[in-house]
Amino acid sequence: MIAIIDYDAGNIKSVEKALKYLGEDAVITRDREEILSADKVILPGVGAFGDAMYNLKKYGLDEVLREVAKRQIPLLGICLGLQLLFERSDETPGVEGLGILKGEILRIPDCPGLKIPHMGWNSLKLQNDGRLFKDLPEEPYVYFVHSYYLKATDESIVKATTEYSTHIHASVEQGNVFACQFHPEKSSDTGLQILKNFVEL
């Protein structure tokens, strides 16, 4: 069973739909025991960093997610879910992230001719043998919607990058913790393969 963390953030239903399409048993939940007994856990998210951290704390899910990481249950953060796994974000100064991974979330710099938020398809440059990208071409196209991006402290955990106004760490993997800045559930067959790779870990 795959637990999708419910903390009142968007895009949860589309993640559930993609997993069901793959034939997976997925449940949207904020129940501690249900989450900790799951085979895999997904932290999706659309919205503001500070509001999301407030909700995670309100439901006690910040501690549950740290416990998931500690127990080595495979955990996948998607979009805002990736950002929350790190220490801080320019979007909400003074609000601490989950701190499960080391790094910070920065605002995409303004660049003539490029719109922010970054919305649309970009190719990834794969590196460091990420398990999420098994059986995918070298530069897969995926769908992004974001105004902030990850700069991980340790480059060795970065498994995919992309370029949009700046160099973006688009996917990371450290032990049982995985994360994507892009939306696999909205990235067509490529995204389904990424989700399939996660559920087959």
* Structure-block tokens of residue 15: 């993640």
Cis amide bond preceding 140, omega within 30: no
Q: What is the pLDDT of residues 116-172, one digit of tens each?
A: 999 999 999 999 999 999 999 989 999 999 999 999 999 999 999 999 999 999 999
CA 184-104-150 angle, 5° bins: 30
pTM of the model: 0.97
pLDDT greater than 90 at residue 11: no
What is the phi/psi pair of residue 8, to 5°?
Answer: 65, 30
CA 149 – CA 165 distance, rounded (Å):
11
CATH of domain 2-199: 3.40.50.880
User: Where do the structural domains in the chain lie, given as residue ranges?
Assistant: 2-199
Which residues have a catalytic role annotated? 79, 183, 185
| % of the chain exceeding 70 in pLDDT | 100
Per-residue pLDDT at 31 exceeds 90: yes
